[in-house]
Structure formats: C-alpha cells, structure tokens
Amino acid sequence: MMVEVSAPGFSIDRVESLTLSMRANLPPTGHVRVRYDASVAAALGVCGSAVSIRMTLPGPIPVGQPVLAGTVSDAILREDGVAVLTVLGKSAQRDETVRVRSFGTGPGRVAIKSLSGIAELLAGVGNSTRLSMPVSHLYQFGRTDYEVLQLLAGWHGLYLREDPTGTLCFADHTDGALHTVPRSALVPRSTTLHVHKRPAGARCVSTDLLAEKTPSRPANAAPCANPGTPLAAAAHSLGACRPHDFYGGGAGLTDAERAGRAAAAVRGGLTAWRAVLNGPLATQVRVGDRLKLADSEITDVLLVRQSELTYTPAHRDSLSLAIDAVPVGPLGGIPVSATPGPVVAVIGTCLDDPDESGRAWVRVAFPWHESGDGIWCPVAQATASKPGCGAAEVPAAGASVVALLDPIGFDPPTIVGAIYRGAGGGQPTTGTRRILHASPGLRLDIDQETGTLTFQGKLIRFLGPVTISETLDVKEE
C-alpha cells in the first residue's frame, strides 16, 4: 500500500500519516504528515498550492485511487524535514466570498437552473439539472456560494457531496454506491448502536432522541408482534409502537405494519451506528455511500454521513476508516403512494413559542443529518392527514411528516401533514395540545392535559358545533 501526495514546487519524500475527514454538506479536509526535501523558499510557497492525494492498493494490477484533490490551507514546516499540511477540498473555495445578489427577473416561474445569472453560482456542480423546482427569483442575502448551494440542496431533499476529483454534486440516499461489509472488515468491538430517549414531561425538545414514549396508551392497545429488526424492537421497548397512526386512526393495521411503524420511528437520523472498517473497503467507502452488513442482526441499509480515514505506515494496522451511519430513509417498510414533497423525520417540537401567525414549529431531519441536527419548519394551519379532515396538530417526535418546499424565497419548508394510512377521519390522536382553529391573527387551542383554553386575536370562531361542559381557565397570550 502506498500513498502519494503531489504538490507543485514541493518535493515530498515520504508520507508518514494521513487523516481524511468527510461530512455531508461540508468540504472534505485532509491532514497529511510528510517528509519533504526542498529549500525553505520553495517550502514557504506550498500554502495555497494545489495538492492531489492518491492511494495505491496492493494487487495484481495496482491502481492509484484518488482520495482528495484540493489546496493547502495551512502548512507547518519543521527543521527536521517534517511538514504537516492541511488540505481542503476544492468546494471549500466557494466559502471565501460573501455576496448579496439576486437571480432571475422574469414574470414567470422557471426551474432554478434556468434563472438568469445563476450559471456562475452553479459552475462546477456536476448535476445541477436536479434543481427542478419552479421559481421566479432567488435571493442571496449575505451568504457564500456554498451556503446557497446547501439551501438549494435542502429544498430538494438533497445534500452536497464532493467526489475524489473535486467535483461538487447534489445527491440523496439513492446515489451512493452500495457496499456489502463482511464481518472480517469490522474492527472487533468497534460497532456501537446509540439509543436516546426523550426526557419525560419535556415541552420544548430539540435533541437526538430516538423515539417518544406514548404518555397514555389505551388499555385495549394490541402489542406489536415480532418487531423484526433490533431497531424495531428498540422502538417497541420505548413505547414507540403506538396502536394508532400519526394524524389518524390505525384501524386495519396488521402486526407487521405496526412493526414497520415502530421501526420507522427509529429511522430518520435518530439512531446512529458507528464502526471502524479496515482492508480495501476503508478506501472505497465515502460519505453518501450505502452499507449492507453481512452476517449481522442489523438488516437495514445504512447511509454513511461522515467518515475519517487514517493511514499510518508505522503501525501494523496502517489503514482504517471510522464511519458514522444511519438507516436509510425515515419511512422504512411503510409504503407511500404519493406525497407532495420529501418525507422527513421529526426530531424536536416547540409548542410554547408559536410565531405571530399562531403556527407551531417542529425540527425535522433528513437521513444524512447529524443526530439532533436539522432545520426548524412551521406546521401548516388547518392541515391534517387528509384534505378537509380535522385541524392542525403538532406531530410528535419520531413521526414521519411531509414537507412542502417553498417555491420562492428562502423561507423554510412547511410541514403539511404526516404519513396517513388506513381508515379514520384524520383526527389527531397524538400529543395533548389540539388546535381548534388557526389563521393569521387568530388562534384557538386547547391543552387537554391542563384544561386550559388559549386564544389570540379579537375574534374567536369554532369550526362546527362545539359543546364545553366544564369550566376552563381562559388566559390571553
């Protein structure tokens, strides 16, 4: 095995160590420790120069695989001929300039890639054709080019990934290569499954919870039979296997479907699987790739969201790859016929601080987000699982919800509903706070736990006949 580092005007004798860190939506970063043979004048010019790192694996026909292409952002030169270079991927150069500009001025809506003047922003992106959302204009308010690309990726349910040659592209959990990881490729005792539980009684949560335990479960609720996977079993042990659907009754669900619902509550970036790989897979697996574990109880396909490659020739196990992966997709085995937008997982709720329009907010995460990381989105008003059924309800943590992307501007996506299955009127059954009516400047909701009716605005309207048979403590927000 051999690692080659080439830098123009800088002679490198030997690579002593290499650490390559990669995360979705961030440029890759490499730390290289090399011995160099060059004059001080030539060595001082290495900072800012282009660097190419290739790794040659042993075999009948050795092939040098590109690992990282970028520029040196920091160089430490020692008198004993050792240099420590920090190499940033090519996409990091997009973060150097903060701009305020707009794209597109036409009266009609076109795809983002067709906006006037946006070609400069999308230059160097390999598959900008995936930006298909129709918009009339796009603003860049004091953001760098890379930050705008991150926003565009989030709008479309995608993420940014840089390939070894330095080309930036939009990707999702179906783009990366699928690798089968044999047990021999796993470093012993390196596999860890992290499970987190929401604190009891929490009202405003944004954390790396696994699943929310049902506060009150009907006495006649049928338990899940044979959850199937360890992830589903873990969700069932935490009470995530509810007898109902989110945003509607669970009538007609089989045990297998309930088990799938429990597994789905665990998915969506809420459970992290970490391990260390060695052998050839250490150089082949990259962020965005998918893993299938052979001879393992974990049967889910895992998405690699970050990795760290370490190469140290002085040690016996000179090459290893530490990875952080999550199960692919929050839906799991739950079939969905059609959704108006991407399906995301709820990882946090905020009930006590609605915005000026009276909307509650939830924090959602795509599968490649770090555990607990995501974006805050408002919940649509008067929205339920089916059109015209019920009123808005704040989805619980662990739910799979549908996000409607904003066609213009930089507003966050809006949560328009949750995955709905089976019969029922779509009336919310999770949580304790129910919004009876909500519109701009008007809000009326009842907390069933405390018996408090809260109103906002000058006019109170009820949708349909309502009978209040008890005295409620009414207060103005």
Query: Helix, strand or coil for residue 365?
Result: strand
Q: Chain centroid to CA 347: how far?
A: 11
Please give the share of the chain, as a percent, with pLDDT higher than 90. Answer: 4
Greater pLDDT, 267 or 55: 55
Which of the four pLDDT bands, split at 50, 70 and 90, describes residue 416?
low
Q: Is the pLDDT higher at 70 or at 397?
A: 70
Residues 443-471 have a mean pLDDT of 43
Specify the 3-state DSSP secondary structure of 256: helix
Query: What is the model's pLDDT at position 86?
Result: 92
Cα angle at 85 between 84 and 87, to 5 degrees? Answer: 155
Q: pLDDT band at 397, cuts 50/70/90?
A: low
Q: Could you tell me the pLDDT band of residue 315, with boundaries at 50, 70 and 90?
A: low
Identify the pLDDT of residue 380: 66
Question: Tokens for 167?
Answer: 């080309």
| Average pLDDT of span 172-176 | 81
pLDDT tens column, 108-151: 788 888 888 888 889 888 888 888 877 788 888 788 888 888 88
The answer to whether 75 touches 86, Cβ cutoff 8 Å, is yes
Lowest mean pLDDT: which of 79-83, 93-97, 110-114, 141-145? 93-97
Q: For residue 54, what pLDDT is reported?
A: 85
Structure tokens at 214: 């049902």
Q: What is the largest CA-CA distance in the chain?
A: 89
| pLDDT greater at residue 55 or residue 367 | 55
pTM to 2 decimals? 0.60
| Segment 29-55, tens digit of pLDDT | 999 998 887 666 666 778 888 888 888
> Residue 271's closest CA among 242, 243, 309, 233?
233
Per-residue pLDDT for 195 more than 50?
Answer: no
pLDDT at position 63: 61
For residues 83, 86, 89 and 90, what is the CA-based torsion angle, rounded to 10 degrees? Answer: -70
Answer with the residue of higher pLDDT: 477 or 24.
Answer: 24
Which one has a higher pLDDT value, 62 or 70?
A: 70
Q: CB-side exposure of 457: number of CA atoms within 13 Å?
A: 15
pLDDT band at 338, cuts 50/70/90? very low
Band of residue 58 on the pLDDT scale cut at 50, 70, 90: low
The Cα–Cα gap between 331 and 174 comes to 14
CATH number among 3.30.1360, 3.30.70, 2.60.40, 3.55.50, domain 97-171: 3.55.50
What pLDDT digit, counting tens, does each position of 277-307 carry? 887 888 888 888 999 888 776 677 888 888 9
Cα within 13 Å of Cα(142), Cβ side: 0
| pLDDT: which is higher, 396 or 15 | 15
Indicate if the pLDDT at residue 425 is higher than 50.
no
Whether 340 shows a pLDDT value over 50: the answer reads yes
Query: Going by C-beta distance under 8 Å and a sequence separation of 6 or more, which residues neighbour residue 114?
Result: none
pLDDT score recorded for residue 193: 60
What pLDDT shows up at residue 300?
72
- Summarize the confidence of residues 211-216 as an average pLDDT: 28
In DSSP terms, 140 is beta-bridged to 101
What average pLDDT score do residues 338-355 get?
62
